[in-house]
Amino acid sequence: MLGVMVGVLSCAGRNTAAADQAAPPPVAEAAAAEKTPAAESTARQGYVIPVPLPITGTIDIQVERMIDQALENLPADGPRNVLILEFRPKPGQQGEGTQLDRAKSLARYLVSPKLKHVRTVAYLPTSVQGHAVLPVLACEEIIMAPDATLGDAGHDETFIDPDTLSDYEFITRQRLTIKPAVVRAMLDKNAALYKVQTLDGVQYVLADELAELKAKGAVNQIDTLKDPGQAARFTGRELRLDFGFVTHLVSDRKELAAALHLPASAVEEDPSLARDWQPVLVRVEGPIRNEQINFIIRTLDQRLDAGDANFVCVEINSAGGSFDDSARLAQYLAELSESDIRTVAYVPSEARGDAALIALACDHLVMRENARLGGAGEVNLNPARREDLQIVVRDLCKKRARSWSLPLAMVDRELVVERMANQENQRTAFFSAAELAEQAQPEKWKVVSTVNTRDGLNGTEAEELGLARFVVSNFDELKQIYHLETDPERLQPNWAHLLIEQLARPEIAGFLLFIAFFALMMESMSPGIGVPGFVSAVCFMLYFWANVLHGTAGALEILLFAAGLIFIAMELFILPGFGVFGIGGVLMVIASVILASQTFVIPRNAYQFEQLPRSIMMVTFAMAGVIIALVTFRKYLDKAPMFSRMMLKPPADEQLAELHRRESLASFDHLLHKRGKTSTPLTPAGKAMFGDQLIDVVSDGEFLPRGADVYVIEIAGNRVVVRGIS
């Protein structure tokens, strides 16, 4: 049976070899029958249908269901609309593991008469192998990334049976996007493939076909493309430049849209297509602040990690407030869009200023007619920050394969954007002067009009310019568009989140630090772990716990704080003095407190420089409170009923005078200018030996180790002041 199938393929190759150069494949005929690209670009529509790889289980049924729904949304008359099947292998894979039956089912659906009114395009941004190759062959046109590869269709098979050959033969003959002999070489490792120059042109043949051509004397040149024993795989560049089987080489969806003469919005996946959505709703309301964005990101991470949400609706009613925090949420949402999570921004009222970044970072933007996108917001854009903002917007637009000028103009009111037309194909686009200069042939673009974006855009204007996907009257219409059967679950703060936010507020955090250091000093002045030590530990725990959950602190801050306390304790109890460990420990504690109150380590932009003094001032006030508390502690603690047992009551004035008189009777005048050795470290007080006398001494300011040579420089009653001899 295998030999029969080989003969079938060989015979078919001979019968069509002469026609390979003379007749265009069906896709070319279809394209020739359509309107010219320039006239067609404004009328033709497109849909992106994701094809997850490997194709197993019910994936083929899900893809077919999405295509069915897309066909319902496309008009039956007019130019042939485009269905773009984007083949997406799992990370680190190329589609291996695809089940032949599932691939065959999808491929037969793609060549069925049901799809005759649309043009099917296989888009391969990455490499594809295994039986996932079969539905690629079932499309009328193939577009690939230059370095992506296609081939090794028999990757998962140890033996290619006749039925498998028959399946590939049937699909190949339906489309002829790739020649039968090349497909056979991709499937069968034992097949040899040759490129033969004949009197009738170039032919791609197998070994038996080559022998027949040689026998006829019709061979001018032979190039071996594949030897037996190896899998045939070809890059997009080879399939386009060497074979001509691939129609375009593109690097992203923006280039894909240009190649198909479609607007950029036509190559965005439509999240409404036949998916079992598990929606959640988050709201961005009022001035945008660090705390609000931290909560949104934290709660979304928890839900998405749990796997019970795949549709995120972001309702925005804000005039911005923090460019950095808006950019942080926008980048987070853009990264979600690269996974299987769909994001939709809903603007019922306004998304002004930097809040527009969040709206434009989602897969789709849905607005009410009178809602406002962009324009003046909560804060004015600092001219010095325009360059940083442009980098953020360009990165977001690159992920979405969009032009960046118009989205940037929603945030930068000074940016001038013009509607331009390409003189070659009449395609329209919106460019600033900087983006126009980046085009391959900027001279071919001519200005049509200037777009007024200074005061932002309403919903209708945003839809006309391609920024908004839909304009709705209310949220119920949005639910209908995306086939959401129930209201999305709203993620909102509970009592624990509210507690975290309150504890992380600068004034509350500063108060916690005040109590913590106050209690710590009380404990240090009254040895033994007691109530002050417990209170201090609880306050420090609450401070770092709130900031960890708030998103501003992490392991670094906790380690710095703990290590700082250990170094201070070492300096006090193990290495007497006040040296490297003591100073280093104090600096580490201060650094940990400051870093725990902010989201950055080193400020790198204007907003972060604005936040840094706030963090430092919070710590400064806390430390000032500690100093005041210590002074009060020393002066009045003995009079407090609860704390009088913690320290001795200082002597009264009469007692102090009598004590001074008795101490002054002792005279050490004979020691003036005498030399001796320290018996203990002087820090600065300690003891020194002068002959056979052990005297309490104090250094004149320097810290001296035990055994240091000293001499007496001053006698004041019983106070002996010494200086080290170097």
CATH number for the domain formed by residue range(s) 18-178+233-267: 3.90.226.10
Mean pLDDT, residues 659-664 taken together: 56
Q: Is 482 or 23 the better-scoring residue by pLDDT? A: 482
Could you tell me where in the chain the CATH 3.90.226.10 domains are found?
18-178+233-267, 281-415+453-490
Q: Where in the chain is the domain with CATH 2.40.50.140?
A: 658-724
Q: Identify the pLDDT of residue 455.
A: 86
Reported CATH class of domain 281-415+453-490: alpha beta
- Look at residue 518 and give its three-state secondary structure: helix
- pLDDT confidence bin for 645, thresholds 50/70/90: very low
Nearest residue to 360 (alpha-carbon basis) of 467, 495, 434, 287:
467
From CA 34, how far away is CA 11, in angstroms rounded? 33
Mean pLDDT of 441-463: 89
Q: Identify the H or E element spanning 514.
A: helix 506-525
Residue with more model confidence, 374 or 502: 374
* Furthest C-alpha separation in the chain: 134
Query: What are 221-244's pLDDT values in tens digits?
Result: 888 888 888 889 999 999 999 999
Unique residue bearing structure tokens 């003036």: 672
Kindly indicate the confidence band of residue 605, based on its pLDDT and cuts at 50, 70 and 90: very low
- Which class for 315: exposed (0-12), middle (13-18), buried (19 or more C-beta within 10 A)? buried
CATH number of this structure's domain 658-724, picked from the four choices 2.40.50.140, 1.10.1030.10, 3.30.710.10, 3.10.450.350? 2.40.50.140
H or E stretch at 10: helix 2-17
Closest CA to 512 of 557, 542, 478, 470: 542
pLDDT band at 636 (very low <50, low <70, confident <90, very high): low
Cα–Cα distance for residue pair 358/196, rounded to 1 Å: 56
**CB neighbour burial string for 150-185, b if at least 16 within 10 angstroms, e if fewer:** bbbbbbbeeebeeebbebbbebbebbbbbbbbbbbb
Rounded distance between C-alpha atoms, residue 134 and residue 131, angstroms:
6
Average pLDDT over residues 116-126: 92
Q: Are 110 and 213 a contacting pair, CB within 8 Å? A: no
Question: Residue 372 and residue 351: Cα distance in Å, rounded?
Answer: 6
Q: How far is C-alpha 375 from the chain's CA centre?
A: 26
Where do the H-state alpha helices sit in 263-322? 290-306
Average pLDDT over the chain, rounded to an integer: 79
Structure confidence at residue 14 (pLDDT)? 36
Q: Is 655 strand, coil or helix?
A: helix
DSSP assignment string, 614-650: HHHHHHHHHHHHHHHHHHHHHHHGGGSTTTGGGSPPP
pLDDT digits (tens, 9 = 90+) for 289-314: 887 888 888 888 888 888 888 889 99
C-beta separation of 150 from 136 below 8 A: yes
Nearest Cα residue to 350 out of 365, 367, 333? 367
pLDDT at residue 239 in the model: 94
Reading the block at residue 279, the tokens are 């929606």
DSSP of 167-235: HHHHHHHHH-SS-HHHHHHHH-TT--EEEEEETTEEEEE-HHHHHHHHHHT-EEEEEEEE-TTS--EEE
Q: Is residue 568 helix, strand or coil?
A: helix
- Rounded Cα distance between 724 and 710, Å, is 4
Say what the pLDDT of residue 561 is. 84
- Which residues make beta-bridge pairs with 686? 697
Sort 606 into a burial class: Cβ within 10 Å, 0-12 / 13-18 / 19+: middle
